[in-house]
Amino acid sequence: MYKNEFDNCLKQGKRFKAYMFYGQSIFLIEQYSLAIAQSLGQSDEVEKLYFDDYDFKYAKDKLLQSSLFSSNNILLVKVEKKIPKKEVDSLIEACNLNPDSTLIFACLGDTDFKTMESSFSLKTNSAAVRFFQPTDTEAIKFIEYEAKQLGIQYEISALNHLYFMHKNDLALCVNDLKKLAILDEIITVNLIDNNCFGIGIVNFEDFLHDLLSGKDISEDLNSILEEGMNEIFLLNQVTSFVQQLFMISSYARTIGQPNPKEILGFVPPKNIWEKKSKLAINKKPEVFQEILEYLLNIELEFKTSKIDNQSLYLQASLRKFTVLFR
């Protein structure tokens, strides 16, 4: 199932004997794994086996045997490679045999976990949940939720600022919220600028703006890729940025003055919104279609062709992009 369906199950009070969390968002996988474990028992009732610590026989024995000191027997297993289906089936069966036991798999990395997913079903009272990268709107709502959980007062523009400062990295955003909570002040843009530091030497929002403005992005692009940003992720961010510009342009041409809340679902920092709106309105609608087709063709090449050096291919494609759509 997907995140929304699983969230509905949680709202209805549904519990499973075994959980599997996997997908594109490592942050959400880890957050949900820990949240489920904490909702089921105290910290001393949760045993964690991370990566090479996992041992099938030990895990099975653990799930079959109840604790003498508590009524909850929770096992959280974090893996980065597939576990054989027979082992997964056996561990789920062990959970169903012991009413005190619950198994949680947090599956990280690029491995295809579909063979594991097939072991989880309603018949075995188990659930596999797949996460995609959250949209900007979903991510900012999550940051708001974390801020409220920490009892922080905040300006929504400040949370948006923090999100873009960290290049959409939710883990870094949440870590900074915890640090800011100690200050016991209302979180403002100035407070964030004075106490938080964005990752990397390149402002990613400025990079996207320069790219769509037809400026030379060679140096910044090299820096971003050298910092370790995945080529497909970078391409998806460019595509998402273009889609936002298209929505702003369409809104302005059909309704009037663009409203960020109605268009994006949130209010970005004022300076970012003004630059984005100006850029969007200056491009004709048919240009956006050409840009999106160009970007989708690059993504198709990545996924269907054997490209020896994806970094060089992306750099060449985006440099060509700045010439074609200047």
Q: Tell me, which fold does domain 204-324 have in CATH?
A: Zinc Finger, Delta Prime; domain 3 (1.20.272)
Give pLDDT tens digits for 296-326: 898 888 878 778 888 888 888 888 887 777 6
Please state the pTM of the whole predicted model: 0.63
CATH number among 3.40.50.720, 3.40.50.300, 3.40.1350.10, 3.20.20.60, domain 3-131: 3.40.50.300
Instruction: Give the C-alpha separation, 16 to 96, whole Å.
Output: 10
136-195 folds as: Helicase, Ruva Protein; domain 3 (1.10.8)
Q: From first to last of the 326 residues of the chain, give the pLDDT tens digit.
A: 999 899 999 999 999 999 999 998 888 999 899 999 999 988 888 999 988 889 999 999 999 988 767 778 999 999 988 999 999 999 999 999 999 999 999 998 767 788 899 999 999 999 999 998 888 888 888 899 999 989 999 988 888 888 877 877 888 888 889 988 988 889 988 888 888 766 555 667 788 888 888 888 888 888 777 766 778 878 888 888 888 889 999 999 899 888 888 888 777 767 778 888 888 888 888 888 888 999 889 888 887 877 888 888 888 888 888 777 76
pLDDT in tens, 117-153: 999 999 999 999 999 888 888 888 889 999 998 999 9
Q: Which helix (H) or strand (E) holds 105?
A: strand 101-107
Listed in order, the ranges of the chain carrying CATH 1.10.8 are: 136-195
Q: What residues contact residue 216 under an 8 Å CB cut-off, 6+ apart? A: 210, 322
CA distances from 82 to 87, 112, 125, 189, 293 (A): 10, 8, 21, 43, 36
Q: Are 269 and 142 in contact (CB under 8 A)?
A: no
Q: Specify the domain boundaries for CATH 1.20.272.10 within the chain.
A: 204-324
Report the alpha-carbon distance of residue 95 to residue 59 in Å, rounded.
11
Give the pairing of strands 126-131 and 101-107: unpaired
Q: Where in the chain are all domains bearing CATH 3.40.50.300?
A: 3-131
For residue 58, how many other CB atoms are within 10 A of its CB? 13
